[in-house]
Chains A and B, each alone.
Chain A
Amino acid sequence: MDSTIIIEKGIFIVIIFAITMLMAMYSTLAERKVAAWLQDRIGPNRAGKGGILQPLADGLKLFSKEEFLPDTPNKFLFVVGPAISMSVALMTSAVIPWGDKLHLFGRDIILQATDIDVSILYIFGVLSVGVYGIMIGGWASNNKFSLMSAMRAASQMISYEVAMGLSIIALLMMEGTLSLREISANQSGMHWNVFYQPIGFIIFLVCSFAETNRTPFDLAECEAELIGGYHTEYSSMRMGFYLFAEYASMFISSTILAVLYFGGYNYPGMEWAVENWGVNPANVIGIVVLFIKICFFIFFFMWVRWTIPRFRYDQLMRLGWKILIPLAIANIVVTGVVILLFDS
């Protein structure tokens, strides 16, 4: 391992970190704008041109708020909760392939922080840690509503992780690899997985809504029943971390959806572009294409939020255990049969 690779990866990680933060920041603005547009309003437009500085103003406001600690026996856990949420939301981006490669300074730069061969397992592992952030925060708040909300979130996330994992298995059977890089590469041309695994995609989509605690599955923040949910007792930037982590994990979920099912950085005519325009322009277009796909999914998350009302808790559990899991298992069986019959 020479020092150039450390520098290269270091710069790359800083860039990914900055982009994730930027996307999460502007997702908050986009959420408010999309909400407004879908309701025939304009949305925030006072801070900067068209409201472009609104996220900065929101952040400034959160920083200047009083940092309040409730009378809880466990102040350490109270502080650790939002930190876990935030770091987990950021850790996942380490294994995402943002593009194929760039040819700079006479060397090939792979556009991925680390290319581990079990990246999907890594993502699932990190995602399941995310529930600790909510659980610990709700527990340490010393508030019945927070605790109930945290319990709801925990049982919801654990239930939907099962269906999510099962929906992925069918995909892995097709691909024969756990590496996101290879899965991306296999989808070159228009061989996007969504065309081969439509049911798996729908299950994965529904589960990622549940995993990020977004509407229609945002029972953890059900205002009418639970005040603010697990972050009722939080204020200032700790509260900001929880809210920010939600948007960061929404960005990461959108990225995973785009990479696993919508071809990642691939776009039709990519090989032709590599041959005729060179490696760098073709791959820069690839990165842009990936981000367009991600932005579409972020928009989709918001679109759904302002369309569908919240599920009831028993409906949520029934959907998870009685519909999605059997559907995912049936999908695995059908995929296995098809592979056996047609893939010699």
Chain B
Amino acid sequence: MSIETISLSGRKKEVSNKKMTFLESLYLVAIVKGLFITIKHLFTRKVTIKYPEQVRPMSPVYRGQHMLMRDDEGRERCTACGLCALSCPAEAITMKAEERKPDEKHLYREEKYASIYEINMLRCIFCGLCEEACPKQAIYLTTSKKIVKADYDRGEFIYGKDKLVMPLEQALNNTKLKTAN
């Protein structure tokens, strides 16, 4: 078989440059065929998703806004080891560690915690390496199911713990669901 006739996709079509017949040169048949193709689309199901009312379902492996997780008792899992910041190829994560006081045991799981934890969402490339690096399963990009929103101010894109940490109610709800099962 010569190289010209091979068609790996099976959809190869020979292009012919033959002269059109009189009927073809009037274009009328082709135009009517085209009109039927378009009118068929008038009755097909519309693919539009009416965005604010209707949200596209996210893929289970979609990587969106980060979330700092809480454990079953609602304590923050993060121990401020800095591995996420180290693994981040975009240098988007910064944090400041602090020692846990005895009366803060119900707030933080480990003896050391992050008092400041910031991710610069303009730098972040949502690669998920921080999630892979985390030894405490504290940071996830899949659980928030949120897209980072647009804003007018660059400063607004540095997300602190107020936006990143999982809400307490959500953590308690998760626990309730787990014990129910």
Residues of A at under 8 Å CB distance from B?
A: 37-42, 45, 202, 303-304, 306-308, 323
The dominant DSSP class at the A interface is loop
Q: Which residues of A contact B47 (CB under 8 A)?
A: 40-41
Interface residues on B, range: 10 to 19
Q: Decide yes or no whether B39 CB sits under 8 A from chain A.
A: yes
Beyond A40-B48, A41-B48, A304-B35, 20 additional contacts (C-beta under 8 Å) are A37-B41, A37-B42, A37-B46, A38-B38, A38-B39, A38-B41, A38-B42, A39-B41, A40-B45, A41-B46, A42-B46, A42-B48, A202-B28, A303-B35, A303-B39, A307-B34, A307-B35, A307-B37, A308-B34, A323-B26
Q: Distance in Å from the Cβ of A43 to the closest Cβ of chain B?
A: 9
Would you call B46 and A303 a contact (CB within 8 A)? no
Which of B38, B45, B48, B50 has the most C-beta atoms of chain A within 10 angstroms of its own C-beta?
B38
B26-67 residues at the A interface, CB under 8 angstroms:
26, 28, 31, 34-35, 37-39, 41-42, 44-48, 50
Would you call B41 and A40 a contact (CB within 8 A)? yes
Q: Which residues of B contact A38 (CB under 8 A)?
A: 38-39, 41-42
Q: Which residues of B contact A202 (CB under 8 A)?
A: 28
Would you call A42 and B50 a contact (CB within 8 A)? yes
Total CB contacts across the A-B interface at under 8 A = 36
Q: Which residues of A contact B28 (CB under 8 A)?
A: 202
Q: Distance in Å from the Cβ of B110 to the closest Cβ of chain A?
A: 50
Q: Which residues of A contact B41 (CB under 8 A)?
A: 37-40
- Given A307-B31, A307-B34, A308-B34, verify A40-B39 contact (CB < 8 Å): no
The dominant DSSP class at the B interface is helix
Q: Distance in Å from the Cβ of B47 to the closest Cβ of chain A?
A: 5
Q: Which residues of A contact B39 (CB under 8 A)?
A: 38, 303
Interface CB pairs A-B, < 8 A, 28: A37-B41, A37-B42, A37-B46, A38-B38, A38-B41, A38-B42, A39-B41, A40-B44, A40-B45, A40-B46, A40-B47, A40-B48, A41-B46, A41-B47, A42-B50, A45-B50, A202-B28, A303-B35, A303-B38, A303-B39, A304-B35, A307-B34, A307-B35, A307-B37, A307-B38, A308-B31, A308-B34, A323-B26
Residues of B at under 8 Å CB distance from A?
A: 26, 28, 31, 34-35, 37-39, 41-42, 44-48, 50
Q: How far is the CA of A158 from the CA of B9 in the complex (A)?
A: 49
Chain B residue, CB-CB nearest to A305: B38
Would you call B38 and A306 a contact (CB within 8 A)? yes
Chain A residue, CB-CB nearest to B44: A40
Q: How far is the CA of A304 from the CA of B48 in the complex (A)?
A: 23
Q: Which residues of A contact B38 (CB under 8 A)?
A: 38, 303, 306-307
Q: Distance in Å from the Cβ of A325 to the closest Cβ of chain B?
A: 14
Q: How far is the CA of A202 from the CA of B27 in the complex (A)?
A: 13
Q: Which residues of A contact B35 (CB under 8 A)?
A: 303-304, 307
Q: How far is the CA of A39 from the CA of B44 in the complex (A)?
A: 10
Q: Distance in Å from the Cβ of B5 to the closest Cβ of chain A?
A: 31
Q: How far is the CA of A41 from the CA of B34 in the complex (A)?
A: 19
Q: How far is the CA of A323 from the CA of B50 in the complex (A)?
A: 47
Which of A303, A307, A323 has the most C-beta atoms of chain B within 10 angstroms of its own C-beta?
A307
Q: How far is the CA of A323 from the CA of B47 in the complex (A)?
A: 41
Q: Distance in Å from the Cβ of B144 to the closest Cβ of chain A?
A: 28
Q: How far is the CA of A210 from the CA of B47 in the complex (A)?
A: 33
Chain A residue, CB-CB nearest to B28: A202
Q: Which residues of B contact A308 (CB under 8 A)?
A: 31, 34
Q: Distance in Å from the Cβ of A46 to the closest Cβ of chain B?
A: 10
Q: Distance in Å from the Cβ of B9 to the closest Cβ of chain A?
A: 25
Q: How far is the CA of A308 from the CA of B37 in the complex (A)?
A: 11
Q: Which residues of B contact A323 (CB under 8 A)?
A: 26
Chain B residue, CB-CB nearest to A39: B41
Chain A residue, CB-CB nearest to B39: A303
Q: Distance in Å from the Cβ of A220 to the closest Cβ of chain B?
A: 21
Q: Which residues of B contact A45 (CB under 8 A)?
A: 50
Q: Distance in Å from the Cβ of A47 to the closest Cβ of chain B?
A: 14
Q: Distance in Å from the Cβ of B124 to the closest Cβ of chain A?
A: 32
Q: Distance in Å from the Cβ of A339 to the closest Cβ of chain B?
A: 26
